[in-house]
Amino acid sequence: IFPFVSVNQILLLLLVLTVCAILYNKVHQVPSALKNETVDLESPEEMEEEIPVVICAAAGRMGAAVAAISSIYSNTEANVLFYIVGLKTTIPHIRKWIENSKLKEIKFKVVEFNPMVLKGKIRQDASRPELLQPLNFVRFYLPLLIQKHEKVIYLDDDVIVQGDIQELYDTKLTPGHAAAFSDDCDLPSTHEMVRSVGMQNTYMGFLDYRKQAIRDLGISPSTCSFNPGVIVANMTEWKHQRITKQLEKWMQRNVEENLYSSTLGGGVATSPMLIVFHGKYSSINPMWHIRHLGWSPDARYSEQFLQEAKLLHWNGRYKPWDYPSVHTDLWENWFIPDPSGKFKLTRPDS
């Protein structure tokens, strides 16, 4: 009997041990799996919303794009994805500049813009040919360049950002609005600058009211204009309202009827946007677009005002990488020299 009982006991003991081993493994595997999932779920890269920022890198002014990107990246903890838009000939240069400087840590995608989309849509204008450069019209085609984002920030290259770009991204757009801009009449300091250098800040400065097509719009010539150098855009609304098609329609009408020109206030990229977005845009916090720094080599803002500004824009002829220009020290804080040596700053002693 004893041997028989002993064998049964041994078998029973082995069975119990096997069951215990299986249970032990299962119990210890579950927390392990949960732990892995928890790490993935809480990963900042996965949870943090991506902020897409579109900036163009044009030949001859790539240092501008680099300074803008540098200023944004240095002043935020947000998860920024830079879309750097260039032409086929300029893309290798900007990519090399980023990858061989301290900007190599940024998240970026290089996007090629095909200038053929503009064929027949731009009226040649000799007074300011730089305004006819293809990349000036990238802002018209945002949904074609940026596929996966609902909300996008577009910035001209001649800006620097002193605030946290998350604030600008959090700009509230009214339902039904495809974009937010800064009004040209929104700050007393801007009014003083406008008066001092004789700028236009109304629709009369951009559209030719002698033309019937412009008068038929029913827009008062004294309506305050806005500046499309800083845009917060809703891609769903943009596509739904066929904004790109509307802008192209006015570009083509200008080719045929000369409804606006760069001899007026803001050249050929602003005017179609003023028409298409009239009365249908939200507002950006004025301190997020302090502009006209490039309008005169003499007119200056107060240093205190500029320190409080979240974004500075050198719109106008006098750029901070050229000479003469104003407040160049604020811009140069963010400039990163070109490792290839092709782009150089123009300074009085250079």
Quick one: fold of 51-184+226-235+281-333? Spore Coat Polysaccharide Biosynthesis Protein SpsA; Chain A (3.90.550)
pLDDT digits (tens, 9 = 90+) for 294-341: 988 988 899 999 999 999 999 988 999 999 999 999 999 999 999 999
pLDDT digits (tens, 9 = 90+) for 140-176: 999 999 989 999 999 999 999 999 999 999 999 999 9
Instruction: Judge contact between 252 and 121, C-beta under 8 A.
Output: yes
Count of CA atoms in the C-beta half-sphere (13 A) of 79: 8
* Residue 225 identity: S
pLDDT-wise least confident of 59-63, 73-77, 194-198 = 194-198
* Residue 320 identity: P
Binning the chain into helix, strand and coil, the percentages to the nearest 5 are 45, 15, 40
pLDDT digits (tens, 9 = 90+) for 92-109: 999 999 999 999 999 999
Domain ranges of the chain: 51-184+226-235+281-333
Instruction: Judge contact between 138 and 54, C-beta under 8 A.
Output: yes
